[in-house]
Amino acid sequence: MMNRRSLVSLLGLAVCAGLVGLGSLLSPGPSNVSIAEPVPLPSVLINAAGATFPYPIYSKWFSEYHKLHPDVEFNYQSVGSGAGIRQTIDKTVDFGASDGPMNDQQLAEAKQKLGYDILHFPTVLGADVPCYNIPGVTAELKFTPESLSNIYLGKITKWNDPALTGPNPGVKLPNTDIVVVHRSDGSGTTYIWTDYLSKINPAWASKVGRNTSVNWPVGLGGKGNEGVAGLVKETPGAIGYVELIYAIQTHIPYGVVENKAGKFIKADLASVTAAATGAAANMPDDFRVSITNAPGADAYPISSFTWLLIPSHIADATKRDDIKAFLKWMLTDAQQYNEGLDYARLPKAVVAKEMTQINRVQ
Amino acid sequence: MATSNTGVEVRLPSAPRGRGLRLGGTRGVDLIAKMLTLVAAVSVLLVTVWLVIELWEQSELSRHAFGFRFLLDRAWDPVFGHFGAMPFVYGTLVTSAVAMLIAIPLGVGAAIFLAELAPRGLSDTLTFLIELLAAVPSVVLGLVGIFVVVPWVRTSFGPFLKDIFGFLPLFQGPIYGVGFLTAGLVLAIMVLPFIVSISREVLLSVPNDLREGALALGSTHWESTWKVVVPTAGTGILGSIFLGLARALGETMAVSMVIGGTPQIAASLFAPGYSIASVIADQFAEATGDLFRQSLVELGLVLFGITVLLHAVARLLVNTTARKAKGAA
Amino acid sequence: MNRLTWRKMVNAVMSSVTALCALIAVVPLLFVLGLLVVKGTSSLNWAFFTKLPVPVGETGGGIANAIVGSAELLLLAALFGVPLGVAGGIYLSEFGGWGVPFVVRYAADLLVTVPSIVIGIFAYAVVVLPVGHFSALAGGFALGVMLLPIVVTNTEQFLRTVPVWLREGSLALGAGHWKTTMSVVVPAAMQGILTGILLALARVAGETAPLIFTAFNNAYWNRGLNQPVSSLPYMIWIYGISAYDDWHRQAWAAALLLLGLVLVVNVLSRLVLARRMASRRIA
């Protein structure tokens, strides 16, 4: 009897050690919904990761879509466009999202690693706004392109610099240090911002360049749009760039920017849509287009599309159908939620073109 | 029948099983048991070795691209593919230095009080509370860091330091709130309980004869402590400091939340910076391009190397004191 | 003033200074606890415990999935780390000779000091990349790797405190080595071993860094070991660094919950161990 007890103990040890491996084998995969269930359990979990720029509208969309289709869950993690691109290439998520389109090098890397293309699907139009926290100043400040780029190059260091007081004659700007805030993580919002700065300032283009992650001359790093907004809100004298809705939702004042036509334009639905009109008419087949510093009297200069990065080949049939169904919904019904969160709708021409691209997802 | 103090009784087996008093006996059950537990023990070794191998392999690209220059290079440029460890090593070292400067005097002072000067009941209670601090998760301290320490540094402590020490480059420049100083302060809170706990134990292990001898010769309580006990425990206390330092170097979450996310080498403590652990946490999941990611892994390898070295030295120091104490007793 | 008065004064002053150091050392814990209670209690409501996160900007969500997720990850970590750890500790204490135990002890010591972010990289390379996606399993593995060396060291230490005469008595009565270990030595040290495991779990429960690129995070309930999973420390992190007041509230409440659990385990464990040590001294 003693002997058996010892053997049992040994057996227990061996079994325990094997449990982990067993667990992964036995983990439940997607199960088919049974016919007679009144409320079907979610059977499919689709993982996505990427841009923080559109996170407010995406989280709304995925939540609404889940209400319409309770058997599908889209788990979107707002980790930054850089991570979205990385994880799409590594295929550690089912699809990604980015506001900086994948460049040729990244697309080639993806093609080489995965064997198929990654397709860009524009989802909404949004804007990067310069938000600030200046004690005693609640007015809407006017920024020229030069002043923005020089602030971020570290050449303008005080709020009462002539480059800032010039366009804002009625505002009393204090002699406070400017605390520049940028992203510490890989970000499409950064891509949009640096893309714009590169276009309007050759010094920026050669010194820093455009990318999701750059070598910032000055400033503090915040993680995600959320982190930048958080830092700006807590730090007197700070200036940062965030997607429009983040400034609105967190009640941080943001400025207006002078566009190519010379007018100071505030970021809103109309001005962002105006920025996209040119691109809508001439959309390239792969949908990778930049609309910063767009021509047009009423265009907001730091606007951008944002994209979902969908693999052109999805092995799992259920996931593929769910993703395609979602894309169709996204291009049609979902757009009604955009304006409530201050994102602009996709132009009709772009929607039509994307519908055809859905067929490329096999 | 023998009974241990936990009440376990040893029963006579129903039939004696022959000679088997040799340790590591040859009987079947014992052999299987020895094998299985050996496998379990070796698994620890395997995991450690595997970890080192993975770190080495996953950083191959960047090691070949940059070589030893990686350690000295200051750039961190994902656009142009140029990576160097220097800003992060600097940030790690500076924040740890600030933390140790605060935690060592406080910690050793507290340990001396708790081990030598305090009455037993008070010492036990205070030690209990201080050691609990070690259990606070890093992310919780980071939260407190963001909402309490950062504003405090920005509005009170920073300007105070600037007023008094502003002539030093260490305390010049704008005060953001986040930065090396704040990260160092938060780290100090995390390192303190380790120094207190280990130093206290080391001090307690010094044999009583030494203390009593000093007191018998007419020294005050403080004198016997400071001139006899503490020097004897000296290497052990030094070991506790090294252990605390090893802990500080690897600390991730709390530091990343308050350091300011900027890879730079700056003279001012008010400046934002980055540490090795924080940059990995922030950028690993999104490092596009293999070179970028492998550079981050290489950073991890560097950190691993430094902590291993420190830990080995620390263990050596602590064990030396323990052996000295046992020898003297 | 003569020399004696001076020395007495130094004695008094230094005693006060060191006492002050000790008091200062106690302040952070009390401060953090107090702060969390003040800021977090009001948000510990029913919705917090039972609801899933809602879209950003809306209010009324909770972190039910993170609470369950943390429990799940701890269970996985325990499955990986506890059996191996206890068995390994038994080997080191009962069977070991000179070579292997020394190396294993050194490796365990080393593994404990590895920064948690590096363990995260390891788990990413070893579980996430081959499998192809993030999973609770990867997160549990990372936490298990952190748990393992602590449990091994702890188990060995407590087994060693069992007096030799207990082992010898059992062997003298004819019990085999393994029988002695399992029937006599381990039960005698069981209290210590179990509390050690609980303390290690409490320590690992608060870890965020290893989960960032292993468990990933999940806006919904975790649906399986090979799916991503949310966790308490992770939510505290992303909510804490955001700019939304509602998220901040939830971060405080989550931090209070986490710290509360960790402290309760720590306090109870220490009390149990202290009682055990006290009874040991009497014996």
A179 close contact with B: CB closer than 8 A: yes
pLDDT at C277: 65
Domain end among A216, A231, A252: A252
Residues A248 and A337 in one domain: no
Residues B110, B115, B118, B122: what is their CA dihedral angle, to the nearest 10 degrees?
90
Looking at residue B95, the DSSP 8-state letter turns out to be H
Interacting residues of A209 by C-beta distance below 8 A, sequence separation 6+: A194, A198, B79, B80
**C113-126 pLDDT, tens digit each:** 888 999 998 998 89
User: What is the number of CB-based contacts under 8 A between chain A and chain C?
Assistant: 119
List the CATH number of the domain containing A60.
Answer: 3.40.190.10
What is the rounded CA–CA span in Å between residue B12 and residue A350?
86
C57 to chain A: which residues are within 8 Å by CB? 56, 245, 249, 341
Q: By the CB < 8 Å criterion, does C5 face chain B? A: no
A35 contact C CB<8A: no
H-helix or E-strand containing B83?
Answer: strand B82-83
Yes or no: say if A296 and A274 are a contact pair by the CB < 8 Å rule.
yes
Instruction: Name every chain A residue with its beta carbon within 8 A of the beta carbon of C219.
Output: 59, 62, 73, 75-77
Q: Is residue A104 part of a domain?
A: yes
Sorted by where each begins, the domain ranges of chain B are 16-58, 70-328
Instruction: Determine contact, residues C222/C215, Cβ cutoff 8 Å.
Output: no
Query: Is residue A272 one of the residues assigned to a domain?
Result: no
pLDDT at A14: 45
Interchain contact B12–A (C-beta under 8 A): no
Sign of the C-alpha dihedral computed for residues C14, C16, C19 and C23 taken in this order? negative
Same domain, A67 and A101: yes
With an 8 Å Cβ cutoff, are A221 and B262 in contact?
yes
What span, in angstroms and rounded, lies between the C-alpha atoms of B75 and B83? 6
Q: Chains that contact C by 3+ CB pairs under 8 Å? A: A, B
Cβ–Cβ below 8 Å for C133 and A92: yes
pLDDT of amino acid C13: 93
Q: What percent of chain B is predicted at pLDDT more than 90?
A: 26
| Structure tokens that stand for A84 in this block | 């979205």
Asked whether the CA dihedral C33, C34, C35, C40 is positive or negative, the reply is positive
- Which pLDDT score, from 0 to 100, does residue B117 have? 85
ipTM of this complex: 0.87
**The pLDDT of residue B66:** 79
Residue B274 DSSP code: -
Chain C segment 149-208 residues within 8 A of B by beta carbon are 149, 152, 162-163, 165-166, 169-179, 181, 183-184, 187-188, 191, 202-203, 205-208
- Residue A98 counted as domain residue: yes
Residue A168 structural domain? 127-252
Task: Tell which of B286, B291, B292 to mutate to test the A interface (max A CBs under 10 Å).
Answer: B286
H helical segments located in chain C: 3-40, 46-50, 64-90, 99-113, 116-123, 129-131, 136-160, 164-172, 177-180, 186-205, 232-240, 245-282
Q: Residues of C near A (CB-CB distance < 8 A)?
A: 54-57, 76, 79-80, 82-84, 87, 128-129, 132-134, 137, 140-141, 144, 175-176, 178-179, 182-183, 216-220, 223-228, 238, 241-244
**Separation in Å, CA of B163 to nearest CA in chain C:** 25
pTM metric for this prediction: 0.82
Q: What is the pLDDT of residue A22?
A: 37
Among candidate residues B241, A28, B273, the one with its CA nearest the CA of residue C136? A28
Q: Has residue A69 been placed in a domain?
A: yes
Kindly determine whether residue A16 and residue C216, on different chains, have CB atoms separated by under 8 Å. no
Residues with Cβ < 8 Å from B202, sequence gap 6 or more?
B233, B236, B237, B239, B240, B318, B321, B322
Q: How many angstroms separate the CA of residue B94 from the nearest CA in chain C?
A: 18
Question: Chain C residue with minimal CA distance to B55?
Answer: C122
Residue C228: both structure tokens together: 């991503």
State whether residue B167 sits within 8 Å of chain A by CB. no
Q: Which of B13, B78, B150 sits opposite A213 (nearest CB)?
A: B78
In a domain, A76, yes or no: yes
User: In the prediction, which pLDDT does B21 show?
Assistant: 42
**Which of C148, C184, C259 has its CB closest to that of B140?**
C259
Subunits in contact with chain B (3 or more CB pairs closer than 8 Å): A, C
Contact across the interface for B142 and C118, Cβ inside 8 Å: no
Q: Is residue A96 included in any domain, yes or no?
A: yes
pLDDT tens-digit series, residues C96-116: 677 888 889 888 988 988 889
- pLDDT-derived band at C152 (thresholds 50, 70, 90) equals very high
Q: Which domains does chain C have, with CATH numbers?
A: 67-282 (1.10.3720.10)
Give A109's contacts in chain B (Cβ within 8 Å).
289
Q: Is B106 a residue whose pLDDT tops 90?
A: yes
> Concatenated DSSP letters for B102-153?
HHHHHHHHHHHIIIIIS-HHHHHHHHHHHHHHTTS-HHHHHHHIIIIIHHHI
Say if the Cβ atoms of A250 and C244 lie within 8 Å.
Answer: yes
Residues 6+ apart with CB under 8 A from B75: A215, B82, B83, B84
The first and second tokens of residue C99, run together, are 């070579």
Local confidence pLDDT in tens for the 362 residues of chain A: 344 444 444 444 444 444 433 333 333 333 322 333 344 455 788 999 988 888 889 989 999 999 999 889 899 988 888 888 888 888 888 999 998 888 888 888 889 888 888 999 999 988 999 999 999 888 899 999 999 999 999 999 999 999 999 999 989 999 988 999 998 877 888 999 999 999 999 999 998 888 877 888 888 888 888 888 888 988 889 999 999 888 888 889 999 999 999 999 999 888 998 888 888 778 888 888 888 998 888 999 999 999 999 999 988 889 999 999 999 999 999 999 888 888 888 888 889 889 989 888 88
Q: Is residue A74 part of a domain?
A: yes
Residues on chain C touching B10 (C-beta within 8 angstroms): 169-170, 173, 175, 183-184
Chain B nearest C-alpha distance from C261 (Å): 10
| CB proximity A6 to C under 8 Å | yes
Which is more confident, C56 or C145? C145
- B155: confidence class by pLDDT, cuts 50, 70, 90: confident
Residue A6's pLDDT is what? 42
CA distance B52 to C212: 20
Residue C111 touches partner B, C-beta closer than 8 Å: yes
Same domain, residue pair A173 and A133: yes
Strands, E, within chain A: which ranges?
44-50, 72-78, 95-98, 118-133, 142-143, 179-183, 220-222, 238-243, 256-258, 264-265, 303-311
Cβ–Cβ < 8 Å for C108, C84? no
Both A183 and A212 in one domain: the answer is yes
Sequence-ordered alpha helix ranges (H) in B205-289: 208-216, 221-224, 230-250, 253-258, 276-283
Per the CB < 8 Å rule, is B286 touching A82? yes
Subunits with 3+ Cβ pairs within 8 Å of A are: B, C
Mark whether A194 and A242 lie in a shared domain.
yes
User: Cβ contacts (< 8 Å) between B13 and chain C: which residues?
Assistant: 173-175
Count of B–C CB contacts within 8 Å?
Answer: 313
Identify the pLDDT of residue A33: 29
> Is-contact A74 A282, C-beta < 8 A?
no
**Of C63, C111, C116, C83, which is closest to residue C230 (Cα–Cα)?**
C63
Q: Confidence band (pLDDT; 50, 70, 90) for C62? A: confident
C-alpha to C-alpha distance for C164 and A194, rounded to whole angstroms: 71
pLDDT of residue A11: 44
CATH code of B70-328, in short, is: 1.10.3720.10
- Reported as a pLDDT band with limits 50, 70 and 90, residue B233 is confident
pLDDT at C258 over 90: yes
Under DSSP, is residue B185 helix (H, G, I), strand (E, B) or coil?
helix
Q: How many whole angstroms from its chain centre is CA A301?
A: 18
- What is the DSSP pairing of strand A179-183 with strand A238-243? parallel
Task: Quote the number of domains for chain A.
Answer: 3
Residues of A in contact with B150 (CB under 8 A): 234
Test mutation, C241, C244, C245, C248, chain A, max A CBs within 10 A:
C241
Which chain B residues are closer than 8 Å to C283 by Cβ?
A: 5
Closest partner CB to C243 (pick from A49, A91, A229): A229
Q: How far apart are CA A309 and CA A322, in angstroms?
A: 15
Q: Is C38 on the interface with B (CB under 8 A)?
A: no
Q: Residue B113 in contact with residue C15, Cβ under 8 Å?
A: yes
CA neighbor of A304 nearest in space, from A351, A349, A272, A341: A272
**Same-domain status, A89 and A138:** no
The whole-angstrom distance between residue A92's C-alpha and the CA centroid of its chain comes to 18
Q: What pLDDT shows up at residue C166? A: 87
Determine, yes or no, domain membership for A232: yes
pLDDT by residue (tens digit) across B282-329? 888 777 667 888 888 888 888 988 888 888 888 888 777 767 766 655
Residue of A11, A45, A57, A185 best to disrupt the C interface, most CBs of C under 10 A: A45
Interchain proximity A234–B151, CB inside 8 Å: yes
A164 and A246 housed in the same domain = yes
A235 touches chain C (CB under 8 A): no
